[in-house]
A and B are shown apart, each in its own frame.
Chain A
Amino acid sequence: MTLYILLALLNGFCIAISRILNGQLASYCGAFKASYVNHIIGFMFLSIVMVLLLEPPQLSSGSNTLVYVGGFIGAFYVAINSLVMSHLGSTNTMVLVIGGQMCFGLFLDSSTNSPSELFIKVLGVISIVIGVYLKQAIQHKRARGVFQKNI
């Protein structure tokens, strides 16, 4: 369990660094080109890793073709995010996205059985969403009057 917790935290670090670099790139060439570059670089890197590990590409063993949709969603999300961001600002967007992500995550997570478990999980989500809101609100307050970059 501890190992997986550390891996999940490390995953958060990767997401943050990826988003920061992507945001910086987007400030030069726009969100869509940055997203394209991001995907291609990740793809090339993984191709090299797979060659080095002598791992041949495999397709899904199951019959469900929905498992391939993940890649599409990631690319489309960039479009949704930049559209919403331009209308609602980064604080609102971030909070709503995290809220939607956590709630739908709970829904998808089939492990929740009893109502009391669900209650605790919902409490957890609410606490997280408030935390993200505060983080963004603090950031905004400090950045007011200063030139602000959207990350």
Chain B
Amino acid sequence: MKNINRYSILAIIGGGLLALMININSQLALQTSAINASWIAHSLGSLVAFGLYNVGKKAAGSPPSPMKGDIPKLYYLGGLPGAFTVILASVTVNSVIGLSGTLALGLIGQLVCSIFCETLGLFELEKRTFTLIELLPISLVVFGSILIISLRY
């Protein structure tokens, strides 16, 4: 139980760090440009990710029960939408909708997109049929986002 609490706090801190990251990158974009901010964030991030990868490799060995076989080339391209993420967030955070609007609307986009991909079985995701009950979580997120953004008018 103690452990679970510790990891719960870590997860909440992780989420807070994500919000901080988006805020910081947007400030960098304001001082330079959105593309430049994404480029700097990715170059510094690459260094840290490379370091963590090497540390992790030594500490844990190979990942637990990895999938075998050839990796589809498409899976290597997650960095492309990732690059756009920083650019788009920099534009919207510095706009009228601000950080909380960016986060809230981003969540709607994520939910809709992931349900869309799962329903069609894109990217070799396990195919799931879309049911009406899935509209419930989306409407709650949409409702919450409207509450947050409505104050901006």
Contact = CB atoms under 8 A, between A and B. Distances in A.
A71 B41 contact: yes
Given A14-B84, A16-B113, A60-B28, A41 B76 contact: yes
Interface in B16-70: 16-25, 27-28, 31-33, 35-50, 52-53, 56-57, 62-63, 66-67, 69
- Interface range on chain A: under 10, 10 to 19, 20 to 34, or 35 or more? 35 or more
B68 to A, nearest CB: 8
A65 B96 CA distance: 26
Most chain B Cβ neighbours within 10 Å, of A78, A101, A111, A146: A101
B36 A55 contact: yes
Contacts, number: 409
Contacts of B78: 17-22, 25, 34, 37-38, 41
B141 A132 contact: yes
B152 A124 contact: no
A92 B84 CA distance: 28
Interface of A: 1, 4-5, 7-22, 24-47, 49-50, 53, 55, 57-62, 64, 66-81, 83-84, 87-88, 92-93, 96-106, 108-109, 111-112, 117, 120-121, 123-128, 130-135, 138, 142-143, 146-149, 151
